[in-house]
A and B are shown apart, each in its own frame.
Chain A
Amino acid sequence: MGSGVIKKIVNVIPEACTGCRQCELICSFEQGGSYSPRLSRIRLVKFEDKCLSVPVTCTYCERPICEEVCPVGAMTHDPVTGAAKVNEESCRGCKECANACPLGAIDMHPEKGTAMRCDLCGGDPACVKYCPAGALKYEPPHHSVKEKRRSRVVALNLD
Protein backbone atom coordinates (compact mmCIF):
# COMPACT_ATOMS: atom_id res chain seq x y z
CA MET A 1 0.00 0.00 0.00
CA GLY A 2 1.32 3.38 -0.99
CA SER A 3 4.77 2.04 -1.67
CA GLY A 4 5.15 4.48 -4.54
CA VAL A 5 5.87 1.70 -7.03
CA ILE A 6 3.38 1.49 -9.85
CA LYS A 7 2.25 -2.08 -9.60
CA LYS A 8 1.13 -4.11 -12.53
CA ILE A 9 -2.12 -6.04 -12.38
CA VAL A 10 -3.94 -8.41 -14.67
CA ASN A 11 -6.22 -6.20 -16.74
CA VAL A 12 -9.24 -7.78 -18.35
CA ILE A 13 -10.42 -6.71 -21.78
CA PRO A 14 -13.84 -8.35 -21.89
CA GLU A 15 -14.57 -7.66 -25.56
CA ALA A 16 -11.53 -9.66 -26.60
CA CYS A 17 -12.32 -12.73 -24.51
CA THR A 18 -13.37 -15.73 -26.52
CA GLY A 19 -14.36 -17.81 -23.51
CA CYS A 20 -11.86 -20.57 -24.19
CA ARG A 21 -11.08 -21.06 -20.45
CA GLN A 22 -7.37 -21.35 -21.22
CA CYS A 23 -6.61 -18.94 -18.36
CA GLU A 24 -8.48 -21.06 -15.81
CA LEU A 25 -6.67 -24.18 -16.89
CA ILE A 26 -3.18 -22.75 -16.90
CA CYS A 27 -3.77 -20.99 -13.59
CA SER A 28 -4.91 -24.17 -11.89
CA PHE A 29 -1.88 -25.95 -13.29
CA GLU A 30 0.53 -23.28 -12.12
CA GLN A 31 -1.02 -23.00 -8.67
CA GLY A 32 -2.35 -26.45 -7.95
CA GLY A 33 -0.49 -28.74 -10.34
CA SER A 34 -3.58 -30.02 -12.13
CA TYR A 35 -5.94 -28.82 -14.85
CA SER A 36 -9.06 -28.05 -12.91
CA PRO A 37 -10.91 -24.73 -13.13
CA ARG A 38 -11.98 -25.22 -9.53
CA LEU A 39 -8.39 -24.57 -8.45
CA SER A 40 -8.05 -21.49 -10.61
CA ARG A 41 -7.50 -18.01 -9.22
CA ILE A 42 -9.00 -16.47 -12.33
CA ARG A 43 -12.58 -17.46 -13.07
CA LEU A 44 -14.66 -17.08 -16.19
CA VAL A 45 -18.25 -15.87 -15.93
CA LYS A 46 -20.37 -16.77 -18.93
CA PHE A 47 -23.43 -14.87 -20.05
CA GLU A 48 -24.90 -17.43 -22.40
CA ASP A 49 -27.84 -15.27 -23.45
CA LYS A 50 -25.49 -12.60 -24.72
CA CYS A 51 -22.78 -14.94 -25.98
CA LEU A 52 -20.32 -13.22 -23.72
CA SER A 53 -17.76 -14.35 -21.22
CA VAL A 54 -15.80 -12.23 -18.81
CA PRO A 55 -12.76 -13.34 -16.80
CA VAL A 56 -12.67 -12.09 -13.20
CA THR A 57 -9.60 -12.04 -11.02
CA CYS A 58 -8.08 -10.09 -8.17
CA THR A 59 -7.59 -6.43 -9.04
CA TYR A 60 -5.16 -5.79 -6.18
CA CYS A 61 -7.08 -3.20 -4.21
CA GLU A 62 -4.99 -0.59 -2.44
CA ARG A 63 -6.82 -1.35 0.81
CA PRO A 64 -7.56 -5.06 0.43
CA ILE A 65 -10.75 -5.87 2.27
CA CYS A 66 -9.82 -9.55 2.33
CA GLU A 67 -6.82 -8.71 4.48
CA GLU A 68 -8.92 -6.51 6.73
CA VAL A 69 -11.58 -9.11 7.47
CA CYS A 70 -9.24 -12.07 7.89
CA PRO A 71 -9.45 -12.95 11.58
CA VAL A 72 -6.12 -14.75 11.67
CA GLY A 73 -4.03 -12.48 9.46
CA ALA A 74 -3.44 -15.18 6.86
CA MET A 75 -3.97 -12.79 3.96
CA THR A 76 -0.93 -10.64 3.41
CA HIS A 77 0.91 -8.94 0.61
CA ASP A 78 4.54 -8.15 0.14
CA PRO A 79 4.98 -4.46 0.96
CA VAL A 80 7.68 -4.09 -1.70
CA THR A 81 6.52 -6.15 -4.67
CA GLY A 82 2.84 -6.06 -3.76
CA ALA A 83 2.43 -9.77 -4.49
CA ALA A 84 -0.33 -11.30 -2.39
CA LYS A 85 0.19 -14.34 -0.25
CA VAL A 86 -2.17 -16.65 1.59
CA ASN A 87 -0.57 -18.37 4.56
CA GLU A 88 -2.12 -21.78 4.16
CA GLU A 89 -1.05 -22.87 7.62
CA SER A 90 -2.82 -20.08 9.42
CA CYS A 91 -5.81 -19.89 7.04
CA ARG A 92 -8.76 -21.46 8.80
CA GLY A 93 -11.10 -21.55 5.84
CA CYS A 94 -13.72 -19.35 7.44
CA LYS A 95 -14.63 -17.92 4.01
CA GLU A 96 -14.80 -14.36 5.34
CA CYS A 97 -12.49 -13.09 2.60
CA ALA A 98 -14.41 -14.86 -0.14
CA ASN A 99 -17.62 -13.33 1.15
CA ALA A 100 -16.14 -9.88 1.68
CA CYS A 101 -14.37 -9.52 -1.69
CA PRO A 102 -16.69 -7.34 -3.80
CA LEU A 103 -15.30 -8.89 -6.96
CA GLY A 104 -15.68 -12.52 -6.01
CA ALA A 105 -12.01 -12.91 -6.81
CA ILE A 106 -11.32 -15.21 -3.87
CA ASP A 107 -12.36 -18.83 -3.93
CA MET A 108 -11.88 -21.57 -1.41
CA HIS A 109 -9.68 -24.53 -2.25
CA PRO A 110 -12.03 -27.49 -2.67
CA GLU A 111 -9.79 -29.93 -0.80
CA LYS A 112 -7.64 -27.87 1.55
CA GLY A 113 -10.42 -25.44 2.37
CA THR A 114 -8.02 -22.52 2.35
CA ALA A 115 -8.49 -19.26 0.50
CA MET A 116 -7.13 -18.93 -3.04
CA ARG A 117 -6.07 -15.49 -4.17
CA CYS A 118 -4.14 -14.48 -7.30
CA ASP A 119 -0.46 -13.97 -6.53
CA LEU A 120 0.41 -12.84 -10.06
CA CYS A 121 2.55 -16.00 -10.33
CA GLY A 122 5.33 -14.05 -8.62
CA GLY A 123 5.44 -11.39 -11.31
CA ASP A 124 4.86 -13.37 -14.51
CA PRO A 125 1.18 -14.32 -14.66
CA ALA A 126 0.68 -17.52 -16.64
CA CYS A 127 -2.90 -16.62 -17.58
CA VAL A 128 -1.66 -13.55 -19.44
CA LYS A 129 1.10 -15.51 -21.16
CA TYR A 130 -1.24 -18.20 -22.40
CA CYS A 131 -4.33 -16.15 -23.27
CA PRO A 132 -4.72 -16.76 -27.03
CA ALA A 133 -7.10 -13.87 -27.55
CA GLY A 134 -5.12 -11.19 -25.77
CA ALA A 135 -7.99 -10.53 -23.41
CA LEU A 136 -5.65 -10.41 -20.42
CA LYS A 137 -2.85 -7.91 -20.10
CA TYR A 138 -0.28 -7.60 -17.37
CA GLU A 139 0.19 -3.87 -17.09
CA PRO A 140 -0.22 -0.97 -14.69
CA PRO A 141 -3.91 -0.23 -14.16
CA HIS A 142 -3.80 3.15 -15.89
CA HIS A 143 -2.89 1.58 -19.23
CA SER A 144 -6.30 0.12 -19.80
CA VAL A 145 -7.91 3.39 -18.78
CA LYS A 146 -5.79 5.16 -21.36
CA GLU A 147 -6.96 2.68 -23.97
CA LYS A 148 -10.57 3.26 -23.05
CA ARG A 149 -10.14 7.02 -23.19
CA ARG A 150 -8.58 6.67 -26.58
CA SER A 151 -11.32 4.51 -27.99
CA ARG A 152 -13.92 6.91 -26.66
CA VAL A 153 -12.30 9.85 -28.44
CA VAL A 154 -12.05 7.85 -31.62
CA ALA A 155 -15.73 7.03 -31.35
CA LEU A 156 -16.62 10.72 -30.92
CA ASN A 157 -14.48 11.76 -33.91
CA LEU A 158 -16.37 9.45 -36.19
CA ASP A 159 -19.62 11.32 -35.61
Chain B
Amino acid sequence: MPRHLIIGNGTAGFSAIQAILEYDSDGEITVISLEHHLPYSRVLLTHYIGGHVSKDNLYMTGESFFKQKKVNLLLGAAAVNIDPEQKRVELDNGRVLSYEKLLVATGGKPVIPQHLQKESPDIMGLRTIEDASYIRQKSLSGAKIVIVGGGSLAIELACALREGGNFPEMVVSSSHVLSRVADDEAAAVIQEQIQSYGIRIWTGEDVTEVVHTSKGVEGVVLSGGQEISCQVVVICKGVQPNREFLDRVLPTIRGGIKVDSNMRTDIPDVYAAGDVVEAYELSRQEFCVSAIWPHAIAQGRIAGMNMTGQDVMYEGSLSRNALEIFGLPVISMGITRVPAKRDWDLDVNQDKSSYCKLVYHDAKLVGAVLVGKVEKAGKLQAAIRKAAGIETVLN
Protein backbone atom coordinates (compact mmCIF):
# COMPACT_ATOMS: atom_id res chain seq x y z
CA MET B 1 0.00 0.00 0.00
CA PRO B 2 1.49 3.32 -0.99
CA ARG B 3 1.78 5.61 1.94
CA HIS B 4 1.69 8.74 -0.13
CA LEU B 5 -0.70 8.85 -3.04
CA ILE B 6 -0.66 11.84 -5.35
CA ILE B 7 -3.37 12.42 -7.94
CA GLY B 8 -1.96 14.69 -10.59
CA ASN B 9 1.42 14.86 -12.19
CA GLY B 10 1.74 18.59 -12.75
CA THR B 11 3.78 21.26 -11.09
CA ALA B 12 2.17 20.98 -7.67
CA GLY B 13 2.36 17.18 -7.69
CA PHE B 14 6.01 17.17 -8.65
CA SER B 15 6.84 19.81 -6.07
CA ALA B 16 5.11 17.65 -3.45
CA ILE B 17 7.11 14.57 -4.49
CA GLN B 18 10.33 16.47 -3.98
CA ALA B 19 9.20 17.75 -0.59
CA ILE B 20 8.13 14.29 0.57
CA LEU B 21 11.44 12.76 -0.52
CA GLU B 22 13.32 15.48 1.28
CA TYR B 23 11.80 14.50 4.61
CA ASP B 24 11.11 10.84 3.98
CA SER B 25 13.56 9.42 1.46
CA ASP B 26 11.62 6.15 1.51
CA GLY B 27 8.28 7.86 1.08
CA GLU B 28 6.55 5.07 -0.89
CA ILE B 29 4.98 7.51 -3.29
CA THR B 30 2.53 6.61 -6.02
CA VAL B 31 1.55 9.20 -8.58
CA ILE B 32 -1.54 8.94 -10.76
CA SER B 33 -1.26 10.90 -13.97
CA LEU B 34 -4.04 11.41 -16.46
CA GLU B 35 -1.59 12.40 -19.18
CA HIS B 36 0.87 9.98 -20.71
CA HIS B 37 3.78 12.22 -19.88
CA LEU B 38 6.40 12.79 -17.26
CA PRO B 39 5.83 16.06 -15.39
CA TYR B 40 6.36 18.99 -17.70
CA SER B 41 6.16 22.73 -17.51
CA ARG B 42 2.84 23.99 -18.85
CA VAL B 43 4.07 27.56 -18.83
CA LEU B 44 6.64 26.62 -21.45
CA LEU B 45 4.01 25.39 -23.89
CA THR B 46 3.65 28.77 -25.57
CA HIS B 47 7.43 29.00 -25.80
CA TYR B 48 7.39 25.59 -27.42
CA ILE B 49 4.81 26.79 -29.95
CA GLY B 50 7.01 29.81 -30.62
CA GLY B 51 9.90 27.49 -31.32
CA HIS B 52 12.14 28.69 -28.50
CA VAL B 53 12.05 25.49 -26.50
CA SER B 54 12.44 21.97 -27.79
CA LYS B 55 9.95 19.32 -26.73
CA ASP B 56 12.56 17.55 -24.62
CA ASN B 57 13.18 20.68 -22.59
CA LEU B 58 9.54 20.90 -21.54
CA TYR B 59 9.99 18.10 -19.04
CA MET B 60 10.90 18.93 -15.49
CA THR B 61 12.65 15.65 -14.94
CA GLY B 62 13.60 12.42 -16.63
CA GLU B 63 12.29 8.92 -16.13
CA SER B 64 15.41 8.06 -14.15
CA PHE B 65 14.28 10.34 -11.34
CA PHE B 66 11.23 8.18 -10.70
CA LYS B 67 13.21 4.96 -10.94
CA GLN B 68 15.99 6.20 -8.73
CA LYS B 69 13.71 7.55 -6.03
CA LYS B 70 11.37 4.55 -6.33
CA VAL B 71 8.36 6.72 -7.09
CA ASN B 72 5.63 4.66 -8.69
CA LEU B 73 4.19 6.50 -11.67
CA LEU B 74 0.86 5.40 -13.13
CA LEU B 75 0.46 7.15 -16.47
CA GLY B 76 -2.83 7.45 -18.30
CA ALA B 77 -5.03 6.76 -15.31
CA ALA B 78 -7.67 8.97 -13.76
CA ALA B 79 -9.21 8.89 -10.32
CA VAL B 80 -12.97 8.56 -10.51
CA ASN B 81 -13.93 8.36 -6.89
CA ILE B 82 -12.42 8.43 -3.45
CA ASP B 83 -13.58 6.64 -0.36
CA PRO B 84 -12.41 8.60 2.68
CA GLU B 85 -13.67 5.97 5.14
CA GLN B 86 -11.64 3.12 3.70
CA LYS B 87 -8.94 5.51 2.50
CA ARG B 88 -9.14 4.24 -1.04
CA VAL B 89 -9.08 5.78 -4.48
CA GLU B 90 -10.88 4.21 -7.40
CA LEU B 91 -9.32 4.55 -10.84
CA ASP B 92 -11.03 4.61 -14.22
CA ASN B 93 -9.33 1.35 -15.19
CA GLY B 94 -10.95 -0.40 -12.26
CA ARG B 95 -7.95 -0.46 -10.02
CA VAL B 96 -8.35 0.54 -6.41
CA LEU B 97 -5.48 2.11 -4.51
CA SER B 98 -5.40 2.68 -0.79
CA TYR B 99 -3.44 5.46 0.84
CA GLU B 100 -2.27 6.82 4.13
CA LYS B 101 -2.02 10.41 2.93
CA LEU B 102 -3.58 11.62 -0.28
CA LEU B 103 -2.74 14.72 -2.28
CA VAL B 104 -5.18 16.01 -4.85
CA ALA B 105 -3.24 18.02 -7.40
CA THR B 106 -5.39 17.52 -10.43
CA GLY B 107 -4.96 21.06 -11.70
CA GLY B 108 -7.44 22.69 -14.02
CA LYS B 109 -8.89 22.43 -17.45
CA PRO B 110 -9.68 25.11 -20.00
CA VAL B 111 -13.05 26.78 -19.77
CA ILE B 112 -14.90 26.31 -23.04
CA PRO B 113 -18.22 28.17 -23.32
CA GLN B 114 -21.29 26.04 -23.91
CA HIS B 115 -22.06 27.30 -27.41
CA LEU B 116 -18.52 26.58 -28.60
CA GLN B 117 -18.36 23.01 -27.33
CA LYS B 118 -18.28 21.09 -30.59
CA GLU B 119 -16.91 17.76 -31.63
CA SER B 120 -13.93 19.03 -33.53
CA PRO B 121 -10.19 18.85 -32.89
CA ASP B 122 -9.89 22.38 -34.28
CA ILE B 123 -11.87 24.00 -31.47
CA MET B 124 -9.61 23.62 -28.51
CA GLY B 125 -8.06 25.01 -25.39
CA LEU B 126 -4.34 25.11 -24.63
CA ARG B 127 -3.37 23.05 -21.64
CA THR B 128 -1.44 19.94 -22.60
CA ILE B 129 1.54 18.96 -24.72
CA GLU B 130 -0.86 17.45 -27.24
CA ASP B 131 -2.72 20.75 -27.55
CA ALA B 132 0.54 22.61 -28.01
CA SER B 133 1.88 20.15 -30.58
CA TYR B 134 -1.36 20.38 -32.53
CA ILE B 135 -1.33 24.17 -32.54
CA ARG B 136 2.34 24.24 -33.50
CA GLN B 137 1.80 21.82 -36.34
CA LYS B 138 -1.20 23.80 -37.61
CA SER B 139 0.67 27.06 -37.25
CA LEU B 140 3.65 25.76 -39.25
CA SER B 141 1.34 24.52 -41.98
CA GLY B 142 0.04 28.05 -42.34
CA ALA B 143 -3.43 27.63 -40.85
CA LYS B 144 -5.26 30.77 -39.80
CA ILE B 145 -5.78 30.73 -36.05
CA VAL B 146 -8.30 32.72 -34.05
CA ILE B 147 -7.63 33.13 -30.34
CA VAL B 148 -10.70 33.71 -28.19
CA GLY B 149 -9.87 35.58 -25.01
CA GLY B 150 -7.60 38.41 -24.00
CA GLY B 151 -5.83 37.12 -20.92
CA SER B 152 -2.15 36.51 -20.48
CA LEU B 153 -2.26 33.02 -22.03
CA ALA B 154 -4.06 34.41 -25.09
CA ILE B 155 -1.45 37.12 -25.50
CA GLU B 156 1.46 34.73 -24.96
CA LEU B 157 -0.01 32.36 -27.52
CA ALA B 158 -0.52 35.18 -30.02
CA CYS B 159 3.08 36.30 -29.56
CA ALA B 160 4.37 32.74 -29.86
CA LEU B 161 2.43 32.17 -33.08
CA ARG B 162 3.69 35.43 -34.51
CA GLU B 163 7.25 34.46 -33.61
CA GLY B 164 6.68 31.24 -35.49
CA GLY B 165 5.62 33.25 -38.55
CA ASN B 166 1.87 32.93 -38.17
CA PHE B 167 -0.46 35.93 -37.94
CA PRO B 168 -3.33 35.04 -35.59
CA GLU B 169 -6.33 37.20 -34.75
CA MET B 170 -7.59 37.78 -31.24
CA VAL B 171 -11.23 38.12 -30.21
CA VAL B 172 -11.57 39.84 -26.85
CA SER B 173 -14.96 40.28 -25.23
CA SER B 174 -13.87 43.16 -22.98
CA SER B 175 -13.07 46.63 -24.21
CA HIS B 176 -9.35 45.86 -24.06
CA VAL B 177 -6.91 43.02 -23.50
CA LEU B 178 -5.84 41.88 -20.01
CA SER B 179 -9.08 43.29 -18.63
CA ARG B 180 -8.64 41.60 -15.27
CA VAL B 181 -5.24 43.13 -14.73
CA ALA B 182 -4.63 46.29 -16.70
CA ASP B 183 -6.54 49.54 -16.86
CA ASP B 184 -7.30 51.41 -20.08
CA GLU B 185 -3.96 53.23 -20.23
CA ALA B 186 -1.78 50.19 -19.67
CA ALA B 187 -3.89 48.13 -22.03
CA ALA B 188 -3.53 50.77 -24.72
CA VAL B 189 0.27 50.47 -24.56
CA ILE B 190 0.06 46.68 -24.63
CA GLN B 191 -2.46 46.57 -27.45
CA GLU B 192 -0.44 48.96 -29.57
CA GLN B 193 2.60 46.73 -29.14
CA ILE B 194 0.67 43.62 -30.18
CA GLN B 195 -0.92 45.32 -33.18
CA SER B 196 2.40 46.78 -34.32
CA TYR B 197 3.48 43.21 -35.00
CA GLY B 198 0.56 42.57 -37.28
CA ILE B 199 -1.82 40.78 -34.95
CA ARG B 200 -5.39 41.94 -35.30
CA ILE B 201 -7.40 42.40 -32.10
CA TRP B 202 -11.20 42.54 -32.10
CA THR B 203 -12.22 44.14 -28.81
CA GLY B 204 -15.74 44.17 -27.41
CA GLU B 205 -16.61 41.19 -29.54
CA ASP B 206 -17.54 37.63 -28.76
CA VAL B 207 -17.54 34.55 -30.89
CA THR B 208 -21.20 33.65 -31.29
CA GLU B 209 -20.76 30.76 -33.63
CA VAL B 210 -18.11 28.60 -35.18
CA VAL B 211 -18.71 27.81 -38.84
CA HIS B 212 -18.11 24.12 -38.93
CA THR B 213 -18.50 21.89 -41.97
CA SER B 214 -17.49 18.37 -42.80
CA LYS B 215 -14.05 19.70 -43.83
CA GLY B 216 -13.52 21.15 -40.38
CA VAL B 217 -13.63 24.66 -38.99
CA GLU B 218 -14.03 27.33 -41.64
CA GLY B 219 -14.48 30.46 -39.64
CA VAL B 220 -16.07 32.21 -36.70
CA VAL B 221 -18.94 34.68 -36.50
CA LEU B 222 -18.55 37.58 -34.10
CA SER B 223 -21.31 39.21 -32.12
CA GLY B 224 -20.94 42.28 -34.34
CA GLY B 225 -21.83 40.17 -37.35
CA GLN B 226 -18.37 40.01 -38.92
CA GLU B 227 -17.05 36.73 -40.10
CA ILE B 228 -13.42 35.73 -39.81
CA SER B 229 -12.31 32.77 -41.81
CA CYS B 230 -9.95 30.49 -39.92
CA GLN B 231 -9.03 26.85 -39.53
CA VAL B 232 -8.34 26.66 -35.81
CA VAL B 233 -10.07 28.28 -32.84
CA VAL B 234 -8.12 28.32 -29.58
CA ILE B 235 -10.16 29.29 -26.56
CA CYS B 236 -8.18 30.95 -23.79
CA LYS B 237 -10.85 31.93 -21.33
CA GLY B 238 -9.18 30.73 -18.19
CA VAL B 239 -9.14 27.42 -16.37
CA GLN B 240 -11.52 25.75 -13.99
CA PRO B 241 -10.54 23.34 -11.22
CA ASN B 242 -10.56 19.68 -12.11
CA ARG B 243 -12.52 18.35 -9.18
CA GLU B 244 -15.53 16.46 -10.45
CA PHE B 245 -14.41 13.14 -8.98
CA LEU B 246 -14.54 14.73 -5.54
CA ASP B 247 -18.08 16.02 -5.90
CA ARG B 248 -19.58 13.17 -3.96
CA VAL B 249 -17.37 13.59 -0.90
CA LEU B 250 -16.66 17.31 -1.06
CA PRO B 251 -19.68 19.02 -2.59
CA THR B 252 -19.35 22.68 -3.43
CA ILE B 253 -21.32 24.84 -5.79
CA ARG B 254 -18.37 26.25 -7.68
CA GLY B 255 -14.71 27.08 -7.39
CA GLY B 256 -11.84 25.03 -6.14
CA ILE B 257 -11.24 22.77 -3.18
CA LYS B 258 -11.13 24.66 0.09
CA VAL B 259 -7.93 24.10 2.04
CA ASP B 260 -6.66 25.36 5.38
CA SER B 261 -3.24 26.90 5.92
CA ASN B 262 -1.66 23.43 6.07
CA MET B 263 -3.15 22.60 2.64
CA ARG B 264 -5.54 20.11 4.25
CA THR B 265 -9.01 19.63 2.86
CA ASP B 266 -12.08 18.94 4.97
CA ILE B 267 -11.49 15.20 4.58
CA PRO B 268 -8.97 13.76 7.04
CA ASP B 269 -5.58 12.88 5.53
CA VAL B 270 -6.49 14.39 2.19
CA TYR B 271 -4.46 17.36 1.05
CA ALA B 272 -4.81 19.49 -2.04
CA ALA B 273 -2.50 21.86 -3.89
CA GLY B 274 -2.09 23.75 -7.12
CA ASP B 275 -4.64 25.05 -9.61
CA VAL B 276 -7.38 22.92 -8.07
CA VAL B 277 -7.48 24.65 -4.68
CA GLU B 278 -8.84 27.83 -3.27
CA ALA B 279 -6.04 29.21 -1.15
CA TYR B 280 -5.74 32.37 0.86
CA GLU B 281 -4.88 35.36 -1.29
CA LEU B 282 -2.80 37.95 0.53
CA SER B 283 -3.75 41.17 -1.20
CA ARG B 284 -7.48 40.48 -1.52
CA GLN B 285 -7.56 38.69 1.82
CA GLU B 286 -9.94 36.03 0.70
CA PHE B 287 -9.85 32.45 -0.48
CA CYS B 288 -9.74 32.11 -4.25
CA VAL B 289 -8.35 30.00 -7.07
CA SER B 290 -5.11 31.49 -8.29
CA ALA B 291 -3.75 29.22 -10.97
CA ILE B 292 -0.14 30.27 -11.42
CA TRP B 293 3.18 28.47 -11.33
CA PRO B 294 4.81 29.85 -8.14
CA HIS B 295 1.69 29.07 -6.11
CA ALA B 296 1.61 25.49 -7.39
CA ILE B 297 5.27 25.06 -6.42
CA ALA B 298 4.79 26.55 -2.96
CA GLN B 299 1.51 24.79 -2.21
CA GLY B 300 2.79 21.45 -3.44
CA ARG B 301 5.83 21.79 -1.26
CA ILE B 302 3.84 22.74 1.84
CA ALA B 303 1.37 19.90 1.25
CA GLY B 304 4.20 17.41 0.74
CA MET B 305 5.96 18.47 3.91
CA ASN B 306 2.76 18.27 5.95
CA MET B 307 2.05 14.83 4.52
CA THR B 308 5.31 13.58 6.00
CA GLY B 309 4.27 14.82 9.40
CA GLN B 310 5.86 18.25 9.47
CA ASP B 311 3.76 21.17 10.56
CA VAL B 312 4.27 23.92 8.03
CA MET B 313 1.91 26.78 7.33
CA TYR B 314 1.27 28.28 3.94
CA GLU B 315 1.57 32.01 4.28
CA GLY B 316 -0.84 32.68 1.43
CA SER B 317 -0.44 33.47 -2.19
CA LEU B 318 -0.12 36.78 -3.93
CA SER B 319 -1.68 36.68 -7.37
CA ARG B 320 0.80 37.92 -9.93
CA ASN B 321 1.76 37.48 -13.51
CA ALA B 322 4.59 38.33 -15.83
CA LEU B 323 4.56 38.23 -19.58
CA GLU B 324 6.53 39.60 -22.46
CA ILE B 325 5.02 41.00 -25.62
CA PHE B 326 7.75 41.20 -28.24
CA GLY B 327 10.27 42.66 -25.83
CA LEU B 328 7.76 44.69 -23.82
CA PRO B 329 7.48 43.19 -20.34
CA VAL B 330 4.25 43.43 -18.39
CA ILE B 331 4.13 42.51 -14.71
CA SER B 332 1.08 42.78 -12.52
CA MET B 333 0.60 41.75 -8.92
CA GLY B 334 -1.93 42.02 -6.16
CA ILE B 335 -5.04 44.15 -6.57
CA THR B 336 -4.91 46.06 -9.81
CA ARG B 337 -8.53 46.89 -10.49
CA VAL B 338 -9.71 49.40 -7.94
CA PRO B 339 -13.27 49.96 -6.80
CA ALA B 340 -14.15 53.65 -6.79
CA LYS B 341 -13.99 54.20 -3.07
CA ARG B 342 -12.28 56.76 -0.93
CA ASP B 343 -9.68 54.75 0.93
CA TRP B 344 -8.05 53.61 -2.31
CA ASP B 345 -5.16 55.56 -3.70
CA LEU B 346 -3.40 55.35 -7.03
CA ASP B 347 0.07 56.43 -8.03
CA VAL B 348 0.41 56.40 -11.80
CA ASN B 349 3.59 57.16 -13.69
CA GLN B 350 3.55 57.06 -17.43
CA ASP B 351 5.93 58.02 -20.19
CA LYS B 352 6.34 57.06 -23.80
CA SER B 353 7.69 53.57 -23.29
CA SER B 354 6.65 52.64 -19.79
CA TYR B 355 3.72 52.64 -17.46
CA CYS B 356 3.67 52.11 -13.73
CA LYS B 357 0.66 52.02 -11.48
CA LEU B 358 0.84 51.47 -7.75
CA VAL B 359 -2.35 50.76 -5.81
CA TYR B 360 -2.65 51.68 -2.16
CA HIS B 361 -5.39 50.77 0.25
CA ASP B 362 -5.43 52.43 3.65
CA ALA B 363 -1.96 53.79 2.82
CA LYS B 364 -0.64 50.28 2.28
CA LEU B 365 0.71 49.03 -1.04
CA VAL B 366 -1.62 46.28 -2.27
CA GLY B 367 -0.97 46.05 -5.99
CA ALA B 368 1.09 47.17 -8.94
CA VAL B 369 1.04 47.11 -12.72
CA LEU B 370 4.30 47.67 -14.54
CA VAL B 371 4.73 47.90 -18.28
CA GLY B 372 8.08 48.50 -19.94
CA LYS B 373 10.34 49.22 -16.99
CA VAL B 374 9.81 46.37 -14.57
CA GLU B 375 13.15 46.10 -12.71
CA LYS B 376 11.64 47.05 -9.38
CA ALA B 377 8.86 44.45 -9.62
CA GLY B 378 10.50 42.12 -7.12
CA LYS B 379 11.00 44.89 -4.61
CA LEU B 380 7.37 45.91 -4.96
CA GLN B 381 6.27 42.35 -4.44
CA ALA B 382 8.30 42.17 -1.24
CA ALA B 383 6.69 45.43 -0.10
CA ILE B 384 3.18 44.13 -0.83
CA ARG B 385 3.91 40.92 1.03
CA LYS B 386 5.35 42.75 4.00
CA ALA B 387 2.37 45.12 4.19
CA ALA B 388 -0.04 42.19 4.04
CA GLY B 389 2.01 40.14 6.49
CA ILE B 390 2.04 42.82 9.15
CA GLU B 391 -1.72 42.93 9.16
CA THR B 392 -2.14 39.19 9.46
CA VAL B 393 0.23 39.19 12.43
CA LEU B 394 -1.80 41.90 14.13
CA ASN B 395 -5.04 40.07 13.50
Contact = CB atoms under 8 A, between A and B. Distances in A.
A72 B385 CA distance: 7
A79 B392 CA distance: 13
A89 B385 contact: no
A71 B379 CA distance: 8
Nearest to B379: A71
Interface in B371-395: 382, 385-386, 389-390, 393
A154 B279 CA distance: 64
B393 A72 contact: no
A73 B389 contact: yes
B385 A73 contact: yes
B312 interface: yes
Contacts, number: 15
Contacts of B206: none
A90 interface: yes
A72 B382 CA distance: 6
Contacts of B390: 73
A76 interface: yes
Contacts of A89: 302, 312-313, 315
Interface in A36-86: 71-73, 76, 79
Nearest to B313: A89
Interface string B316-346: 0000000000000000000000000000000
A13 to B, nearest CB: 34
Interface of B is mostly: helix
B259 to A, nearest CB: 16
B157 to A, nearest CB: 32
B386 A73 contact: yes
Nearest to A76: B393
Contacts of A79: 393
Interface string A83-113: 0000101100000000000000000000000
A100 to B, nearest CB: 15
Contacts of B315: 87, 89-90
- Indicate the member of B313, B389, B390 with the most A CB atoms within 10 Å: B389
Contacts of B312: 89
Interface residues of A, number: 8
A90 B314 CA distance: 9
A72 B312 CA distance: 16
A79 B313 CA distance: 19
Contacts of B382: 71-72
Nearest to A73: B389
A129 B148 CA distance: 69
Interface in B299-317: 302, 312-313, 315
A72 B389 CA distance: 9
Nearest to A68: B386
A71 B378 CA distance: 10
A79 B393 CA distance: 9
A73 B312 CA distance: 16
A73 B382 CA distance: 8
A76 B312 CA distance: 16
A159 B200 CA distance: 95
A79 B389 CA distance: 14
B294 to A, nearest CB: 13
Nearest to A77: B393
A87 B313 CA distance: 9
A121 to B, nearest CB: 19
Contacts of A90: 315
A76 B392 CA distance: 12
Interface string A6-26: 000000000000000000000
A76 B382 CA distance: 15
B367 to A, nearest CB: 18
Nearest to A89: B312
A90 B312 CA distance: 10
A72 B386 CA distance: 7
Nearest to B390: A73
B240 to A, nearest CB: 29
Contacts of A87: 315
Interface in B31-66: none
Contacts of A76: 393
A32 B385 CA distance: 29
Contacts of B313: 89
A96 to B, nearest CB: 11
A149 to B, nearest CB: 37
Interface of B: 302, 312-313, 315, 382, 385-386, 389-390, 393
15 contacts: A71-B382, A72-B382, A72-B385, A73-B385, A73-B386, A73-B389, A73-B390, A76-B393, A79-B393, A87-B315, A89-B302, A89-B312, A89-B313, A89-B315, A90-B315
The 8 closest A-B pairs by CB, nearest first: A73-B389, A71-B382, A73-B386, A89-B312, A90-B315, A73-B385, A72-B382, A76-B393
